[in-house]
Structure 1
């Protein structure tokens, strides 16, 4: 059953998370069918007119899983498309309904099924506009899904809520979606507030000691984004949605969250808790470019268990990661970037005392951060799976690095600090000077503070032998010059046009 889980989840999310409509109930339904068919779903349903409203019942969505020689079949609660005045249409679900998910093998044999109860409070969806240019407005106090039944047809065994349980709820909800469609593309601009999200999952083995619990809560969840999907989307090729102008640009934010888990495999529970005061996730993908960013604030982690020698308690004041790179081939260099921030890291004294029981090292919050910009020339499309496979077989390179700029580097921990910045260009026609690596040209500026003090502390702790410390200090004297303040040093590492490596003006290679 696990192999079908992703496809069934996509079907449910597609139903519950998106509104479709047009100027009449029938057009709304037809647009919904076309939208889902775009993603490879086969839809059957009973259509009944009740006055001016269209009621859709016995609706079934089927998606095939070619790699698994099977399919997932989902039946949904009834939907009502009703005229709401002034050319608008409302879409309603029953306050309580069932979502049935069947996992079917290629011989049309049902091997498993799950039943979800879908509930909502004051959920409203209203659509207005003109064909091909529609605005969806939705609101609701709460939307929830609860797992009520799991049945394994192969073993003829049913698992009740005392064995496995799962719930998901969110709300209050509000937002709008602006959907436009032409002959080749569907565009969706969305701005949505989802309120508080809660997910709870638990499993308790009936005839054993294995147990699992997972709980997650996010406050103030919201999302904005723009999506453009080709109407001739090839569902068997996920990269096809980014061709011919297709793209996704979305941002998801929350104002704080907490995750807890517990795992027991018979030798006692392993527990963990993670929290933060806020976070953001953003991704933008097109045929030509990719960007990805992730950030969080005031993160904490606490873990304990029989396989851990002692409890782990740590905190991180700021965390961030970002990546941007070109995806399509180019004859000219194109920009790329990478950055990482791990700021204000602290850990419990119990962990410190493992290697520093005498409290010799400063225990101030530590920070590691860097920011890189580059110019690169891609040779092939990174979305072209065939070309990427050929490169993997031949050992070829997908592109070349033309320049690299270190905007900033900061390593601040245990009483020492290293800062750096610099820039290099690369001659890809010269692979001899540096043993197969394109010849760089540029310089790197580094400043160091507290290095000797750290070495003295490590010696007093018995972690660094005197002879090793002497070798480190000799190397420091070769590559650095003393700074203006005590226990500081600076260094400029330069590579010139002839391929010579210089440290503070002295040639070392």
Structure 2
């Protein structure tokens, strides 16, 4: 059975002042429960003074610290006030996070309030603020980092269902300004960004007997995941605009960008790890070094996704990888620098790759073995590979492919590779046309082109005007055939 009381870290406590009260929503009961929740999470809340009032309590000089250690968060004051609707609201002052090391973090806010309300698994919490401002300053020798992050019109809810903790948060705008220097790494750059309409939802599953504060190393994390720890997050955003500058003397670069609305999701549990991001389109203005004019580019949809099993056991789990870039277009100024006589076709570039299959793996065991510098208890096994889509359209040529393979893993234990068995079908249209254009452009010579055409003729079968197809077969024992001819 999954536990639903909150075991939170000190920064979360400092930011939301949330707790695990299970009784009626009065000031005294909520405050007592907050302190008990801190203790259960290995933390301690102390205050300089408590000033009681009519259905309210003011805490001055609040500090939050791991038991027996220095404070890692302070709040100048917190007013806890009972509301007419039966909830209890928190109104914190300035929040400072005392992070171990060279970093300083200060959280400022306008009209921040946090309210507690009854939920299915205990108390839920809501947050509202006109603005939240996070200042981060890091000085570590010659290395510096300064970040200013602003969230405008913030709202959110934290809930506890019977099986998982839920979180929802939104902001009308996220603006940040970052400056970073590290002479040892050659870093000297700045970034500014302005993103509209952020919405984030998430769910955390905590197994019974697992405290978040106890997850201090890989072994504890792996044990928690095997016991049922899981996280899922999804974030959507509106239009984002920004600038990036790198003042590296060897390769200075600047970029101005606009990104259309997009979605990012992350899932992690004992069954799978998956991350996916997509954006409807982008516009880029690049200023590379030693280039007389800026380079402008635009794209349509961009998609990147990766999914893989975490712990499979005897049954293989599914994995997948997807990459898609639609309608990449360079402006005439950019083309003019590489192809001033317009020899190459300047149509949009399209790229699509969709792979999937099944594998046996224990990612948690691999992590532990890597840290211990030992061999994993169970070696990963690739079972199948499906090339669901492979497509590249560029310079007037189009290449496509599909395929399906299974793998013989009998040699893996002896250090050998998994041997594929299966077929792939490949089609190339316009390859000779691109070679002719490259000759005119002076990129390759006639002799180079002859070698390329011979390779294409060796592995491709003519199917029409400047169209080649290939059937690639991987057979048992490691032999490879192309269009029926053995090449290995």
TM-score (norm 2): 0.82
1:278–1:245 Cα change, 3 Å: same
**Cα RMSD (Å):** 3.7
Encode CA deviations 1:33-82: one digit per residue, 9 max, x unaligned.
45556665443224443232232321112359xxxxx9663211322222
Please say if 1:425 is aligned against 2:402.
no
Distance 2:466 2:311 in 1: 48
1:13–1:353 Cα change, 3 Å: farther
Please say if 1:332 is aligned against 2:312.
no
Contact 1:427-1:440 within 8 A present in 2 as well: yes
Could you say what secondary structure the match of 2:334 adopts?
helix
TM-score (norm 1): 0.79
Distance 2:157 2:470 in 1: 55
Could you say what secondary structure the match of 2:321 adopts?
strand
Contact 1:405-1:422 within 8 A present in 2 as well: yes
1:386–1:35 Cα change, 3 Å: same
Could you say what secondary structure the match of 2:347 adopts?
coil
The residue number in structure 1 matching 2:198 is 221
Contact 2:45-2:64 within 8 A present in 1 as well: yes
Distance 2:253 2:11 in 1: 32
1:407–1:89 Cα change, 3 Å: same
Distance 1:26 1:177 in 2: 21
Contact 1:292-1:323 within 8 A present in 2 as well: yes
Please say if 1:120 is aligned against 2:110.
yes
Please say if 1:504 is aligned against 2:483.
yes
Distance 1:386 1:454 in 2: 49
Alignment of 1:104-503 (within 5 A): 114=104, 116=106, 118-121=108-111, 123-129=112-118, 132-145=121-134, 167-180=148-161, 187-201=164-178, 213-230=190-207, 231-233=210-212, 234-237=214-217, 239=221, 242-262=225-245, 264=247, 270-304=253-287, 311-378=294-361, 380-382=362-364, 385-390=367-372, 392-394=373-375, 398-430=379-411, 436-484=416-464, 486-497=465-476, 499-503=478-482
Could you say what secondary structure the match of 2:280 adopts?
strand
The higher relative CO (CA closer than 8 Å, separation ≥ 6) is in 2
Could you say what secondary structure the match of 2:216 adopts?
coil
Contact 1:21-1:89 within 8 A present in 2 as well: no
Q: Quote how far apart the aligned CAs of 1:409 are.
A: 0.3
Q: Quote how far apart the aligned CAs of 1:235 are.
A: 3.6
Distance 1:211 1:202 in 2: 8
Contact 2:46-2:63 within 8 A present in 1 as well: yes
Distance 1:18 1:369 in 2: 46
Distance 1:341 1:244 in 2: 36
Could you say what secondary structure the match of 1:218 adopts?
strand
Gaps of 5+ in 2: 1-8, 182-186
Gaps of 5+ in 1: 1-9, 65-69, 106-111, 156-162, 205-209
Q: Quote how far apart the aligned CAs of 1:226 are.
A: 0.7
Q: Quote how far apart the aligned CAs of 1:293 are.
A: 0.8
Distance 2:238 2:438 in 1: 41
1:61 to 48, 64, 85: 64
1:476–1:322 Cα change, 3 Å: same
Q: Quote how far apart the aligned CAs of 1:276 are.
A: 0.2
Number of residue equivalences: 463
Distance 2:251 2:354 in 1: 43
Could you say what secondary structure the match of 2:442 adopts?
coil
1:280–1:63 Cα change, 3 Å: farther
Distance 1:287 1:492 in 2: 38
